[in-house]
């Protein structure tokens, strides 16, 4: 059984799968192609990614891949907590430039479905946070792009300032939305 919650941007979904718990812990089925398809999410995931961020305040993103290697993502946390963000970068979309932000944690078991045409990123809220996400296209370095996480035009209320954020060298150099080429129409 799974629960699908709508967000302020209809294409982005929060998904929670049922947990079966006892004194040992819990069991949950985080992905079942048939059940997800029956619920209207019929995606062909081809790769799983796993990241570990040591310090709290680590920001990864905002990242996306351009066509023909654009990716849907299904994001979840297996240890710790994150502030997870999806930004609509589809120029013809009525929600272009708007975002969805949600807290995902190992404890709440929520997953965020980030569709093609969205930049994705997160900030860790606890040390040693581990994030796992499925994608629908293989990694293609020549199609790997980013968007400045702290672009004021996005108005994302990040839990960390740029000065305090721990970023990769690449994530320091991403353009603002106004400077981003049109990858998705």
Return the active site residues.
63, 133
Please name the helix (run of DSSP H) or strand (run of DSSP E) that holds residue 37, with its range, or none. helix 33-38
Torsion angle of C-alpha atoms 50, 56, 60, 62, degrees rounded to 10: 130
Q: Are 39 and 2 spatial neighbours (Cβ–Cβ below 8 Å)?
A: yes
3-state secondary structure (DSSP) of residue 132: strand
What is the Cα 99 distance to its own chain's centre? 11
3-state secondary structure (DSSP) of residue 155: coil
Through-space distance between the first and last CA atoms of the chain, rounded to whole angstroms: 35
Q: Cβ–Cβ contacts within 10 Å for residue 20, how many? A: 9
d(C-alpha 97, C-alpha 178), whole Å: 9
């Amino acid at each position: 059984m799974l629960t699908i919650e709508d967000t302020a941007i209809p294409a982005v979904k929060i998904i929670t799968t049922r947990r079966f718990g006892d004194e040992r812990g819990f069991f949950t089925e985080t992905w079942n192609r048939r059940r997800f398809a029956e619920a209207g999410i019929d995606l062909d995931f081809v790769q799983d990614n796993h990241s570990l961020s040591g310090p709290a305040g680590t920001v990864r993103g905002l990242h996306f891949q351009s066509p023909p290697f654009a990716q849907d993502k299904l994001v979840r946390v297996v240890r710790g907590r994150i502030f997870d963000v999806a930004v609509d970068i589809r120029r013809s979309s009525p929600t272009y430039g708007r975002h969805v932000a949600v807290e995902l944690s190992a404890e709440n078991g929520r997953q965020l479905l980030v569709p093609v045409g969205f930049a994705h990123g997160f900030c860790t809220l606890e040390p040693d946070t581990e994030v796992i996400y499925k994608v629908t296209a293989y990694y293609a370095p020549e199609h790997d792009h980013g968007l400045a996480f702290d672009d004021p035009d996005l108005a994302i209320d990040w839990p960390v300032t740029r000065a305090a954020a721990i970023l990769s060298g690449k994530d320091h150099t991403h353009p603002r939305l106004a400077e981003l080429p049109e990858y998705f129409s």
